[in-house]
Chain A
Amino acid sequence: MTFALEIAGLHKAFGGLPAINGVSLGVSAGERRLIIGPNGAGKTTLFNLVTGDLAADAGAVRLFGQEVSRLMPYQRAHLGIARTYQIITLFGRDTLEHNVVLSLLGLAPERWQAFRPLARYGHLRAEARRVLQTVGLDQLAGRPTGEVSYGERRRLEIAMALAQQPKLLLLDEPFAGLSREERVAMKQLVGQIPREVTVVLIEHDMDTALDLAERITVLHYGSVIVEGSRAEVVADPKTKEVYLGD
């Protein structure tokens, strides 16, 4: 069976300091995978290696069996990888709708069109509105992104990723900084993502996203120390060692 995402023997060091130290894992198509680990475990670095934001020192990343380690981030996006950022990375001056339109344009052939005004591409705007509706932001579509709340920006991050109808969605701490109510809403949103999309979710707080995951990988100092079903991982003494402290 081919994995949706397969990582084999991945290494990445920053100035001699290993951030990812021989990580191998496989995520099946349609799976919900949670990667947890304390701060500095290498979770975001792992994402950056998968998306191509960083180049790996050694090892392979395969997307549905296709080796993508040498590809640029934009090429990987065209193969169906989408991501959100832990540190919100949006176009603050532009409207929410324009943010989603830029996301749609990323994979659309129209992005090379340099004469006809973007405003004339009604189907892009209509699609952007539709996507914003699925995350409950359609009321704010015309507002500048810099003016909406933090929680709404987190949702926009997800909307931009979903707009691309990815095969593999990487969510980098989507619950970070959210209030209790916002977390509930965000969980609902992540729970509604269609099953065709394979979802890998990073979280440093163990309890937050536990019930969203089918399988859990625990990352510690750049290595996988536990992997298995939710019950297995929770019961594992090594998890407790890393998380619950002594």
Chain B
Amino acid sequence: MNRAAWLAVLGAALVALPWVAGEFYVNLTSQILIATVFAASINLLLGYGGLPTLGHAAYVGVAAYVSALLYLKLGLAHWLSAPIALIGTTLMACAFGWIALRATGLGFLMLTLALSQVLWGTAYRWVSMTDGDNGLRGLTRPSPFGISLDGATAFYYFALAVTVASIWLMAKFVASPFGAALQGTRDQPRRMSALGHNVGLIRWLAFVYSGFWGAVAGLLFVYYHKYIHPISLSLTNSAEGLLAVIAGGPGTLAGPIVGATIVMLLKNYVSTYIERWNMLLGFVFVLIIVFMPAGLVPGVRRWWAVWRARRT
């Protein structure tokens, strides 16, 4: 089967899901979709830019907190708070990118971590604003075009539409000339610079774009849970996203989707049976890296190619 056929099957299965599955699975899939957008936004940096970020929860958390606070403190409607949250978070990515991109590799990773930890600490301590460890409750879901998203199915279709649009736009991005240049800066930054590419600006723009998609994931997250807690800004959350990308296959479009699915299944499904799901996640992750160092998607593709070559 070719790629279009696979996509058609996957699309049909996703659209049909609420008819065949119960509410639990519909909600679980909604969460997988949200995690997918988050992982895909990390993949833009890690997979296509070669920039490992350990602070991407910052964009999820800030977008979620801004949206929540605008509603709770100012009573703003969603059609107004959503763009403000997206623009505000993207502006923050502009500043964070400028700081973090003074380094690459490990230095970049540590700077992204440090910046996100500042926000995590703030969310914990600034109790008058964020209610600290209690989190912010009493939030609502938006009603686009008058359609309430309070039901599991309605929200699921909303999340699906946003996710498909996000992945499509990110796919367009990496296939564009700019995306090709970004991948060039990942592989040979010095050569790219000698060829006339402004490596610093390319990386910064990719960082900002990635931060924007992180913010989109953050809005979906806060709409889904109707609740936001500092843990969304935590290192754990950033690391989960990063793990999903590495496990699925950085630098591939399907990688973050597969990776996010595995992480969310373990986190939400297996955790009802096994208390120490984190240990299992670690174990699965080690297995993937040992047997498929490039991640599941490239790994399975290679095994598939080998298998087919043997048959003919």
Contacts and interface: CB of A to CB of B under 8 A. Distances in A.
Q: Does chain A bind chain B?
A: yes
Nearest to A93: B187
Contacts of B188: 89-91
Interface residues of A, number: 37
Contacts of A93: 187
Interface string B151-185: 00000000000000000000011011111110010
Contacts of A42: none
Contact of A106 (B173, B195, B209): B195
B239 interface: no
Nearest to B251: A93
B184 to A, nearest CB: 5
Given A90-B188, A102-B192, A118 B177 contact: yes
A193 interface: no
Given A53-B190, A89-B191, A91-B188, A106 B196 contact: yes
Contacts of B184: 91, 102
8 contacts: A74-B195, A83-B194, A89-B188, A101-B180, A111-B177, A115-B173, A117-B176, A118-B175
Nearest to B178: A114
Given A77-B196, A78-B196, A118-B176, 20 more contacts: A53-B193, A53-B194, A72-B193, A74-B193, A74-B197, A77-B194, A83-B194, A85-B191, A89-B191, A90-B188, A98-B180, A105-B195, A106-B196, A106-B197, A107-B195, A114-B178, A114-B209, A115-B173, A118-B175, A160-B195
A239 interface: no
Given A74-B199, A91-B184, A93-B187, A106 B179 contact: no
A116 interface: yes
Contacts of A115: 172-173, 176
Contacts of B177: 105, 108, 110-114, 116, 118, 121
Interface of A: 51, 53, 72-74, 77-78, 82-83, 85, 89-94, 98, 101-103, 105-108, 110-119, 121, 160, 164
A111 B197 contact: yes
A106 B190 CA distance: 12
Interface of B: 172-173, 175-181, 184, 187-188, 190-199, 205, 209
B190 A102 contact: no
A110 B197 CA distance: 11
A74 B197 CA distance: 6
Contacts of A112: 177-178
A113 B178 contact: yes
Contacts of B180: 98, 101-102, 105, 118
A110 B178 CA distance: 8
Contacts of A73: 190, 193-194
A90 B176 contact: no
Nearest to A108: B177
Main SS class of interface, B: helix
Nearest to B181: A111
Contacts of B176: 113-118
Contact of B195 (A98, A102, A114): A102
Contacts of A160: 195
Contacts of A116: 172, 176-177
A74 B191 contact: no
A89 B178 CA distance: 20
Nearest to B172: A115
A105 B205 CA distance: 17
Given A89-B188, A89-B190, A115-B172, A77 B195 contact: yes
B172 A106 contact: no
Nearest to B193: A73
A164 B194 CA distance: 11
A58 to B, nearest CB: 23
A91 B187 CA distance: 7
Interface centre among B176, B181, B209 (most CB of A within 10 A): B176
Contacts of B187: 91-94
B122 to A, nearest CB: 32
Interface centre among A83, A101, A111 (most CB of B within 10 A): A111
A116 B179 CA distance: 10
A14 B75 CA distance: 61
A183 B187 CA distance: 28
Contacts of B178: 111-114
B197 A105 contact: yes
Contacts of B205: 114
